[in-house]
Amino acid sequence: MRSAGLGAALLCVLIGTARAAEIPAAQRQSGSAFMSEATRAMQADDTSNPGMLSVLEGSALWNAPAGKAAKSCASCHGEATASMRGVAASYPAYDERTASPIDLAGRINACRQEHQGLEPFRRESAELLALTAFVGNQSRGLPILPPNDPRLAPHLALGKEIFDRRRGQLDLSCASCHNDNWSGRLGGSPITQAHPTGYPLYRLEWQALGSLQRRVRNCMVGVRAKPFEYGAQELIAVEIYLNQRAAGMNLETPAVRP
């Protein structure tokens, strides 16, 4: 009985991943390549890119003294243009203290707790998104450079497994759309290759800035699956895999998407 059940489960996994072929490096394209001319122009011009408002807000938070010791991010890190250049390009990274991977938003919250003695910002709060966008913006134009850390390897593997595995009532995997059908349209929308080049980004549909985790959770809800919680190790594993998959592509933070 048991082994028959397991056999059936394995068969399902094999079937579920059979078609997924990875996108050759030469064919990789950022989500912005699929957008209309108007949306691309909106992203390219800082005075019309709505995400820049959050970057400005983040800049103010960076310099604002907070907590008992009245320390700001700048008190420790100085000018972000120098100290934060390239940082976002190498997240998620391995966090020694928790012995687990941490994404950029998690890292910002860890500084807030440990060095400023403050409560962490809520995931997807305007403040956390603004600080993440501000730090991310310091890497705009730089290639994604995943950390070469063997301790991340099992998390990378988990992220890939989640990406390739069919889930939800609609029984689709991330790969079903983003590897196998990226050049097509779902309803009226281009599907795209799901490269995490622009996060946090301003999505016109959301009328707001949002994180990569929000986007991935949306796709999970779309296939009628139970999404992983914000900050969950599984979502960070997906982020790690998406970054690896997009290694070398340039960051656009804050991007605009339809």
Window 8-27: contact mask with other proteins (x via CB under 8 A): ----x--xx-xx--------
Pairwise CA distance, residues 38 & 19, whole Å: 35
Residue type, 116: Q
CB contact set of 64 (below 8 Å; sequence gap of 6+): 72
Q: Which does 184 bind (CB under 5 to 8 A by kind): other proteins, ligand HEC, none?
A: other proteins
**What is the 8-class DSSP label of residue 184?**
S
What is the SS3 assignment for 49?
coil
- Which 176-235 positions form the footprint of ligand HEC (CB under 6 A)? 176-178, 186, 189, 191-192, 194, 196, 198, 212, 215-216, 219-220, 222-223
**What is the 8-class DSSP label of residue 18?**
S
Q: Which does 192 bind (CB under 5 to 8 A by kind): ligand HEC, other proteins, none?
A: ligand HEC
Q: Which does 175 bind (CB under 5 to 8 A by kind): ligand HEC, other proteins, none?
A: none
Q: Which does 160 bind (CB under 5 to 8 A by kind): ligand HEC, other proteins, none?
A: none
Instruction: Provide Rg for the chain, Cα atoms.
Output: 19
Is 219 an active-site residue?
yes
Q: In terms of CB distance, is 18 or 99 closer to other proteins?
A: 18
Pairwise CA distance, residues 137 & 250, whole Å: 12
Residue type, 130: A
- Read off the tokens for 44: 């390219």
Pairwise CA distance, residues 200 & 251, whole Å: 11
| Residues shown for the chain | 258
Query: Catalytic amino acids?
Result: 219
Residues at the contact surface with other proteins, assessed by CB under 8 A: 12, 15-16, 18-19, 165-172, 176, 180-181, 184-188, 191, 220-221, 224-226
Residues at the contact surface with ligand HEC, assessed by CB under 6 A: 31, 163, 172, 174, 176-178, 186, 189, 191-192, 194, 196, 198, 212, 215-216, 219-220, 222-223, 238, 242, 257-258
